[in-house]
Amino acid sequence: MMWDVDVWSEMDRLRKEMNNLFSDFGRSSGTRTYPLINVYDGKDAIIVTAELPGITKEKVHITYANGALTLAGRLEPQTSTKNLTMVRQERATGDFEKTVRIPTKIDQEKINASFSLGILTVTLPKSEEAKPKTISIEAK
Amino acid sequence: MTTELEKRGKQEVETTAAEQLQPSGEAYSPDVDIYTSTDAAVFVVDMPGVGKGDVTIMVDETNSLVIRGKNSNNEPENAVVRQYEVGDYYRSFQLSDDYDKDKISAKLENGLLEVTVPMREEVKPKRIEIKA
């Protein structure tokens, strides 16, 4: 199975992260491709989670086409800070788009997404033919 | 171009060597945007997975603003792609004496924390009216 996450931009991100390795602690890095995602391969579904703190669910567009899931949207600065002077910026801003190729047949009608505490969870149920089958051995 | 105000703001809230990144155990350093004005400093902190009751904000004896968040996000361990780790958050910033640590306010929405630290009244610029 190939889990293909924008290979070239990810390689670029990795290279930058290597460069930052010694000046950078933990998760703070301005060079990664936003948003960061985790993908889980469950028995019945593929689950994709993404960290999108501060965004509202109306601002995230989720599409599934040709075996690929795309998350897109726009990160806007907080309106409460509009008249203030920014002295440090680490958080991502602007438009983002991230595509994950899903190498499993998906029941497109049953894809659903939820958003809680800044974490987006997209559940892509596997189509019947992609689910693991248990074959019982008949006694003779 | 950096204005005088920006320079001043930078000096006052910049994280220095005094910033402790990981005090104990597993904690991640969240991304932070910092804003200043003549009235206050505002810290905007990415805290995905953290609920309202799970944030602690305090100013310690060295005048450091310490922000902690307990991540309540539960994700299984068997990821086929993993770009982020799930864990608690910790970050601290040295405050100057110009800030009023008793009047800090904060709000948390969709995993984004906003902490406002006002300047002490006597430091805020005063507008002087000219009498006739």
pLDDT of residue B66: 93
More confident residue, B34 or A79: B34
* B74 sits in which H/E element: none
Smallest CA–CA distance, residue B33 to chain A, in Å, is 5
Q: Give the number of A-B residue pairs with CB atoms closer than 8 Å.
A: 141
Instruction: Inspect the interface and report whether the beta carbons of A117 and B34 lie closer than 8 Å.
Output: no
| Range in A40-49, B11-20, B32-41 with the lowest mean pLDDT | B11-20
CA nearest to A86 within chain B? B35
Let me know: does B83 contact A36? Beta carbons within 8 Å.
yes
Instruction: Give residue-wise pLDDT tens across range A54-78.
Output: 998 888 999 999 899 999 999 888 8
pLDDT in tens, A94-121: 889 999 999 899 999 999 999 999 999 9
Burial of residue A53 (number of CB atoms within 10 Å: 0-12, 13-18, 19+):
buried
* Separation in Å, CA of A114 to nearest CA in chain B: 12
Domains of chain B as residue ranges with CATH: 4-75+83-118 (2.60.40.790)
State whether B33 and A89 contact (CB < 8 Å): yes
Instruction: Give the residue from A67, A71, A73, A66 showing the smallest Cα distance to A122.
Output: A71
Q: Are A75 and A94 in contact (CB under 8 A)?
A: yes
For position A3, what pLDDT does the model report? Answer: 66
pLDDT, tens only, A34-53: 899 999 998 899 999 999 99
Question: Model confidence over B76-117: pLDDT tens digits?
Answer: 878 898 888 888 999 999 999 999 999 999 999 999 999 999
B18 torsion bin: left (phi>0), alpha (psi -120 to 50), beta (else)? alpha
Nearest CB to B110; choose among A84, A89, A118: A118
What pLDDT sits at residue B47? Answer: 95
- Tokens read off for B99: 């800030």
Predicted confidence at residue B50, as pLDDT, reads 95
Nearest to B30 by CA among A27, A101, A31: A27
Is B20's pLDDT higher than 70?
Answer: no
Contact between chains at A40 and B9 (C-beta distance less than 8 A): no
Domains and CATH numbers, chain A: 7-20+33-76+93-128 (2.60.40.790)
